[in-house]
Structure 1
């Protein structure tokens, strides 16, 4: 069934992969097959499986390098359009990949919602199945609005050429309108989802906590802290005390940990399933050929077949925020100066002041060439707690703001904030704490944009370390341009006004 959705013909037309004549030949067959489906719960679940497929096209090294490796926390010293902010509508970099994958995900979710609603499945069960697709659709739109800002928004099924024509005429809908719609949609359906940890759901499918954290994320974009907090409290009721979750578990190699709200599922096997990403390849120290020696240190568990690319480099800013608390146990997880008490060559240079590598949080055990099958961690419980701290700071509840930020500090073995330092000082500490706790989990750039500090933050951190970034960076880079191909396909309805500056 997953393959059935992958060849859904309207998607092929929407993204220019086949001709109109081919559409007219294949739509009838495609529609007949679809209409004969969704006859029982098993078929509905098979349809839902297709809603997950595009997550592994989005949460990969491509998004990692722009959200984390081109943020205030790290940079990638390569002549790469994304890494050096040389993107444009004509050269959209990974924006083209994300746009296509996310809208494919939206299209599959829309079709699945229609199919399940038409199915003879019992109404009580039907809502929980629809809720799964509704939440995944919201996730795809969360990605789109966070990355591109205002984007076309639709919830109808693209079932024929007329539907396709209608969709291609949609212009940019204000991101705030999209988010407000999705917040209401999720609030309606979240109670129908399993109210348990994601790790307890077979296959790590959508839990209510994913719906609630998406409500909170989008509400915080809109500065609706009173909307975000009840959703975050729902998550807290499910996950309990942060101290019950071990920090060592956050390594990407540790799959489907108890603290995770969303992990995107990857796998690598020499003889079996291969759904891989290259995140480990761009975060691992270089290896000496035919050995298990990585920048001068033997790491047997990484093996002798890995072929790391040029690694993303921690910024001076990331180093500084860890230096603030020397006993922070997250530092050796996120960055690596040594391993098993032996220093890597690069960090040991310049009187042991050389740059550290990205840390074991991102490395893959026995990586084969550049491929790793680590799950990608996108949302964790610690994120929700730090979001709550931010919300309470914004509404002036000093005691609760302190309480929630201190939860991650206690687990990391660093001093808590005993006295509220004022709203702005607290916010600055919160930004640093989110960097220490969540670095690499696909949200840093979007946080900077949401906070309204993207340009200044990048200009004052990695742009001071990389001349190409300094030369290319512009305020409009907070959002990616819609690729020129999509603008052309829309006959000019879609525009990139910011990039005309």
Structure 2
């Protein structure tokens, strides 16, 4: 293939779909801005370029990612005996969700690099650029964040692939140390974060904000154990949001879109006559259903309708059930009442009627947090939540504890529990005890929000935690789980494409 042909392919690959914000969702509008030299001539074109960077989110945040980050952890499992992801049967030759995640993230990075280069070279007023660059830089950093959380060390580049020379360069990049990648991303995000739009709690806003950038900086910094850096940006979020008590707990359901507590969620929508941008996450988190009816495991749920077709459902592990029910206070006494978050994340019944499963002594289903009203077959139009203020408070608690400030750590924990009207208050100032309580509280509050596995890996407890939980209840996990499963392998197709520069030593040396 000659250079001219390759460049033509590159140009076609740079064709982006444009999204415009309308009534809280991003809607598609086709346009063509293949050549950076011919585009980015005004503010509107720069915004259009940044809009194009969003489109890969819908490919990434779906059932495969939520199964790999939430459905095979210490709190939830996916009891599907033939799923290679759920049974820890992945390999470089058969990487499961690892293939599409790799492809989608790097496609997003390539487009973000091109858009950022175009905006930087634009004749647009320099005062306008930082806010727009911030959105594109956040998305590029998010794609890299997902890659480093999923694979560990990965190839890293910020080049605009606009020539054969650059293409050849990036196609031969080896794995880069994930620590160096995260530090580079923090530096880049800090250039633009303060220039981005700050969403007011009462504002219905679906685009990326300064709060989202602050949150991602803090996430990256905590991976690097730079708790002071993380605390700096988490404090900014707290200043914007105030007290958690003002935000209803019910708004944590996926169907409740862009509510005031939200910091970042991926936009989905479904309607019979309008936008069809869907995922199938709810299919994996809904009780079994009687075909052609609105009867779900013996209970009528009119709000879910009769058109849904749930698949094999994710189920909670005993560890998660215990976190909600078998609770002790600091003196070892049982507390009264049940954590109200339990009946949002877990499904024991509906409208006062119990499902058949828990009535018969079986585990509950996953709860209304994940259900999608009037789901059409497998089409789920819920937004997918990733960052919200409660998460930021629990991150603050963790950072404060690591920085030997138990008073602040306990204050943040208390604020999260007070919003949930949870009667138990934790007052132990022992650092290890607080750390464990934060780990448990993140499960109680955030299960299902694309974070649990990455938290376990970041804490360095992934393998041990799974051996004590999922491996005791799901035989394929006990049989197949290995320490190297904390990360996915780079797909063999990518290893071959790199000419063997990319490797999977942990998997190949098993």
TM-score by length of 2: 0.91
**Paired residue total:** 480
Query: Are the equivalent residues in 1 in contact too, given 2:204–2:258 (CA < 8 A)?
Result: no
- In 2, the alpha carbon distance for the partners of 1:409 and 1:338 equals 23
Q: Which position in structure 2 is the counterpart of 1:452?
A: 460
Q: Which position in structure 1 is the counterpart of 2:177?
A: 174
Q: Which position in structure 1 is the counterpart of 2:502?
A: 494
Shift of 1:271: 2.0
Structure 2 residue matching 1:124: 3-state secondary structure: coil
Shift of 1:419: 2.3
Shift of 1:415: 3.1
User: What is the root-mean-square deviation of aligned Cα atoms in Å?
Assistant: 1.6
Query: Are the equivalent residues in 1 in contact too, given 2:305–2:373 (CA < 8 A)?
Result: yes
Structure 2 residue matching 1:263: 3-state secondary structure: strand
- In 1, the alpha carbon distance for the partners of 2:357 and 2:460 equals 35
Structure 1 residue matching 2:276: 3-state secondary structure: coil
Shift of 1:402: 0.5
Q: Which position in structure 2 is the counterpart of 1:403?
A: 411
Change (3 A) 1:201 1:109: farther
Structure 2 residue matching 1:249: 3-state secondary structure: helix
Query: Are the equivalent residues in 1 in contact too, given 2:204–2:259 (CA < 8 A)?
Result: no
Query: Are the equivalent residues in 1 in contact too, given 2:88–2:485 (CA < 8 A)?
Result: yes
Query: Are the equivalent residues in 2 in contact too, given 1:198–1:207 (CA < 8 A)?
Result: no
1:200 counterpart = 2:208: no
Q: Which position in structure 1 is the counterpart of 2:238?
A: 236
Structure 2 residue matching 1:262: 3-state secondary structure: strand
Mapping of residues 18-37 of structure 1, within 5 Å: 22-27=5-10, 33-37=35-39
Q: Which position in structure 1 is the counterpart of 2:20?
A: none
Shift of 1:327: 2.4
Mapping of residues 378-389 of structure 1, within 5 Å: 378-389=386-397
Change (3 A) 1:201 1:178: farther
Query: Are the equivalent residues in 2 in contact too, given 1:280–1:308 (CA < 8 A)?
Result: yes
Q: Which position in structure 2 is the counterpart of 1:327?
A: 338
Shift of 1:411: 1.1
- In 1, the alpha carbon distance for the partners of 2:247 and 2:204 equals 18
Query: Are the equivalent residues in 2 in contact too, given 1:287–1:294 (CA < 8 A)?
Result: yes
Shift of 1:118: 1.1
1:303 counterpart = 2:308: no
Change (3 A) 1:201 1:300: closer
Deviating more after overlay: 417-426 vs 21-30: 21-30
1:371 counterpart = 2:382: no
Shift of 1:24: 4.3
1:422 counterpart = 2:430: yes
Change (3 A) 1:80 1:198: farther
Q: Which position in structure 1 is the counterpart of 2:286?
A: 284
Q: Which position in structure 1 is the counterpart of 2:56?
A: 54
Q: Which position in structure 2 is the counterpart of 1:3?
A: none
Deviating more after overlay: 220-229 vs 189-198: 189-198
Mapping of residues 343-354 of structure 1, within 5 Å: 343-349=354-360, 353-354=361-362
Q: Which position in structure 2 is the counterpart of 1:15?
A: none
- In 2, the alpha carbon distance for the partners of 1:198 and 1:93 equals 39
- In 1, the alpha carbon distance for the partners of 2:124 and 2:304 equals 48
Shift of 1:195: 2.5
Deviating more after overlay: 126-135 vs 318-327: 318-327
Structure 1 residue matching 2:277: 3-state secondary structure: coil
Q: Deviations over 1:255-312 (max 9, x none)?
A: 1111111010001111221111111000001111121100000000100010000100
Shift of 1:425: 1.4
Q: Which position in structure 2 is the counterpart of 1:77?
A: 79
TM-score by length of 1: 0.93
Q: Greater helix share, 1 or 2?
A: 1
Shift of 1:199: 7.1
- In 2, the alpha carbon distance for the partners of 1:418 and 1:487 equals 49
- In 2, the alpha carbon distance for the partners of 1:401 and 1:373 equals 36
Change (3 A) 1:36 1:430: same
Q: Which position in structure 2 is the counterpart of 1:97?
A: 100
- In 1, the alpha carbon distance for the partners of 2:426 and 2:466 equals 30
1:245 counterpart = 2:247: yes
- In 2, the alpha carbon distance for the partners of 1:386 and 1:40 equals 41
1:339 counterpart = 2:350: yes
Structure 1 residue matching 2:270: 3-state secondary structure: coil
1:183 counterpart = 2:186: yes
Q: Deviations over 1:367-401 (max 9, x none)?
A: 01011100000100000000000011111111011
- In structure 1, runs of 5+ residues without a counterpart are 1-17
- In 1, the alpha carbon distance for the partners of 2:4 and 2:269 equals 38
Change (3 A) 1:20 1:367: farther
Shift of 1:315: 0.6
Q: Deviations over 1:98-147 (max 9, x none)?
A: 11111111111110111111111100001211111111111111111111
- In 2, the alpha carbon distance for the partners of 1:461 and 1:177 equals 33
Shift of 1:33: 3.4
Runs of 4+ in 1 over 6 A off after TM superposition: 18-21, 28-32
